[in-house]
Each structure stands twice: as structure tokens, then as C-alpha cells.
Chains A and B, each alone.
Chain A
Amino acid sequence: MRAGIMGRGILVGIMVAGIFPVYVAKAQAAPRRIEITAKRFAFEPGEITLKKGQPVVLVLNSKDAAHGLRFRELNVDIKVGANGTKEVQFTPDKVGDFVGHCSVFCGSGHGGMTLTLHVVD
């Protein structure tokens, strides 16, 4: 009898242990998705504010030629083909203003194609 109660207890314990991580995983918020449009020779939006330590997904959509978006200091580099979409997830780990540049040569105004990330606490 005692062995039966113990067995049932262990079974319930195993079930709870198995289900609990699922709830924990569901409780975590999905990373914020930010859509960015790249078109010769500008990004839209041109400025984005992020929170330090909060994961985000940057989704880069090209509306014409191949483009890229690189933040050297944040170790982020996305490259997208002509009229394509590419995304990258990252977590900003430092506060400050970071200027990203188009990292795929796209023509005469390529050098002025920038996007500023404001990372705040």
C-alpha cells in the first residue's frame, strides 16, 4: 500500500517536472521584431530605440538592389539579396548610439545609407 502511494507520488512528480519547463518557455516573451526597409539610398526607419539586454529580431527587406546593414560595434551584419528579406536576432549588450551602414555596395549614395540604433537601459 505504502509502495503504491510512493509510486504514484513519484509519477506525479515526474509529470509536474516534465510539464513545468513548457510553461516557463511559454511565459518568456517572443523577441521584438523590427521591420526595416532598405532602398537606394536610405533605411526606413532611419532610427530605432532598443533596450539593453532585450533580444530583438531585425528583419531587413530590400526594395531594389542587394543591401546590407552592419553595426561593427554590436557585431551585427545582415546581407540581403535584391528584393529579398533576411533577419537576424541579437541582444544589444551595451548602451549608446550606434550608426549602422549598408554593407553591400549599392551605388553612388551607398556611403550615406545609415541607420542609427539608440540602445538605452
Chain B
Amino acid sequence: MGRLLALTILALGLAGCKANPAGKVETKTMTFAKHHIFVGNKSQTNPLPSNADTWADGKEAFSHYCVACHGADGQNTGVPFADHISPPIPLLNSKEVQSYTDGQLKWILDNGISPSGMPGSKGTLSDDELWSIIVYLRRLPPAGSQGVPDIYTH
């Protein structure tokens, strides 16, 4: 009897651990909450101009750290686990991401979005690099054009 009870509790516990993809309502609610409640710094503007130099700087800075999850193109190219985690890694050229202000993107890069898996980069990358990454994010290259990140080709 005791064993049966323990097995039942274990089975219920394991069932509770199962992760299902978020439904439409859950996704919309979370997207709204992130854009309007959780992610701050809405009004800060990018101190860097958007030009070829800052874009190239952003592309380089993006390649140090971000490529592991987002691919070199910001569209998950070559990232083996991109479709296997929940919540899924967003395409950085998607409306969900692009509708953040520059200030909000900086906030996300600084602090991350817990518990999505997106880590904060404050201290790991400089402010200058983070702002240049935002320049890069606003004009991402075509999907697949940057190949597979080196870390996944060896």
C-alpha cells in the first residue's frame, strides 16, 4: 500500500515536470507582459549612430557570445537545440523582438530574460559592444547567409 502510494506520488510528480509548448493565449499574455511590464528602459536611445562601422562592430561583438544560441544571422541558423527548448529561441528579426525599443533591447542584453534561458551580458560585454549589437539586430543579414557558427562545425 505504501509502495503504491509512493509510486503514485512519483508518477504525479513526473507528470507535472512535463513541459508542453505554450498555447496562443499564454504566448500572447507573456509577450504583452514583457513588452509593457517586465522589460524596462523603454525610452533610452542608442548613443551609437547606425552606419557600416557600428554595424560591423555589432556583428563582431555578436559573434563572441550570442551566436551560440542565436546563430551568426540572429535567426538560429545551425543552432542544434533551437527547436528543442521551451520557450523556443525567438528569431531576432521577428516582430516579437523588433517591436522592442532600442532601450528595451539594451535592458534585455544587460539583464537577460529569466527564466527563458536568455542570460544577461552586463560585465561580459561592454556598453559600447552591446549598443553596437543593437545596431546589428536592426539590420540582420538574410537567414543562412552567415553559415553555421564555428562552435558547431568541429
List the interface of chain A (C-beta within 8 A of B): 70, 72, 101-102, 105, 108-114
Contacts and interface: CB of A to CB of B under 8 A. Distances in A.
B123 A114 contact: no
A110 B128 contact: no
B51 to A, nearest CB: 12
25 contacts: A70-B128, A72-B128, A101-B129, A102-B126, A105-B61, A105-B64, A105-B65, A105-B125, A108-B123, A108-B124, A109-B123, A109-B124, A110-B124, A110-B125, A111-B121, A111-B122, A111-B123, A111-B124, A111-B126, A111-B127, A111-B129, A111-B130, A112-B126, A113-B126, A114-B126
B58 to A, nearest CB: 13
Nearest to B130: A111
A105 B127 CA distance: 13
Contacts of A101: 126, 128-129
